[in-house]
Amino acid sequence: MPGGGVPINKRATIADIARLAGVSPGAVSYALNGRPGVSDETRARIVAVADEIGWRPNVAARSLTVSRAQAVGWVIARQTPTLGVEPFFMQLIAGLERELSAAGVALLLQVAADHDHAIAAIRSWWAERRIDGVILTDLWTDDPRVAVVAELGIPAVLVGRPQPGSVLPAVWSDERHGVDAVMDYLVALGHRRIAWVAGLATLDHTHVRVQAYLAAVERHGLDAPTVVSTDYTRVQGERATRRLMTAADRPTAIVYDNDVMAVAALSVARELGLSVPDDLSIVAAEDSELCVLVNPAVTALSRDIAAYGSMAARTLLDRLDAEGPIPSRQDHASELVPRGSTAPPAHARRPAGTRAERS
């Protein structure tokens, strides 16, 4: 091979650059990593050669020396069928990715059926040194993953409320604020009988929201609260709606813990011959395109999920650089976006259809 070119079919290494630039491999490493130890002139020459032959560091070699995988892991613990209906995950992925790829950190993704599998995956990644840290989502009130991550000393970011007794940084938002906004709004419209269709009972944030709902009912002196527990699926959302709306003391408004159930409720209302919003107001505690895809569009609590993901990624990256505990960060609370699915209850409206007095 003439002139010491780079071998075919073999990606360039630091040794190639050293040869072409007439320096030692060590000097190349210093130059390319912007560290002292090489003159500006030499550095420029080395960088030029590296650019020319399109050199990129072999991550395996780098990982081996610096003990950094330059990757973080995320195990989504969900059953396949329910996965993907809520746009939440893809939006979060997009946000995470935006921040991670800018930092040259790869995202390893795995889908697991339950916490045991998720924990096994995290253990495996960590033992193989595939990852430098993990992102934990869908947090339970007493989440077994948190203990495992703490025990193994894996840097992590919690997407959700900070866990009591844990130093893991969390990225969270004030759920109460959103719930209050919904309840205040419905009450202002004249609703006094408002039901709450909750998501997975094991999730910490389900608990927080239910508490906020109960507090709001109390604060406003509304009719007795009703909470139905579900697993976030369409089927259970439909079932909850049917049960609530066929009871003697049916509510005039129902708040659903996610977009899927709220949208599904529209179908059930139609099935029961009920008009939305005249006979029933519907609110989704999690907004998405789903809510505007239907008619009437569904009033929802909205927030920038991609930005939330970016903040989570940023926090994990900061944690990796810090080599020690860092504080949690609070994201913006959700904002209420009123749409066609909410209105004053029928009994509270004037015959001519004018607006009811706000209380």
Partner DNA sequence: CTGAAAGCGCTTACAG
Residue 84 interface partner, choices DNA, a copy of itself, none, CB cut-off 5-8 Å depending on type: a copy of itself
Length of the chain: 359
**Residue 62 or 115 with smaller CB distance to DNA:** 62
**Residue 22 or 84 with smaller CB distance to DNA:** 22
- Cβ 231 to a copy of itself shortest distance, Å: 14
Residues that bind DNA in the complex, under the rule CB under 7 A: 10-15, 23-30, 32-33, 35-40, 42, 55, 57-58, 61-62, 64-67
- Cβ 108 to a copy of itself shortest distance, Å: 5
- Cβ 113 to a copy of itself shortest distance, Å: 10
- Enumerate residues 242-271 that contact a copy of itself by CB under 8 A: 260, 263-264, 266-267, 270-271
57 binds a copy of itself (CB under 8 A): yes
**Residue 45 or 193 with smaller CB distance to DNA:** 45
User: Would you tell me which residues interact with a copy of itself (CB under 8 A)?
Assistant: 9, 11, 54-61, 63-64, 69, 71, 80, 83-85, 87-91, 93-95, 97-98, 101, 106-111, 121, 124-125, 127-130, 153, 234, 260, 263-264, 266-267, 270-271, 288-290, 292-295, 297, 306
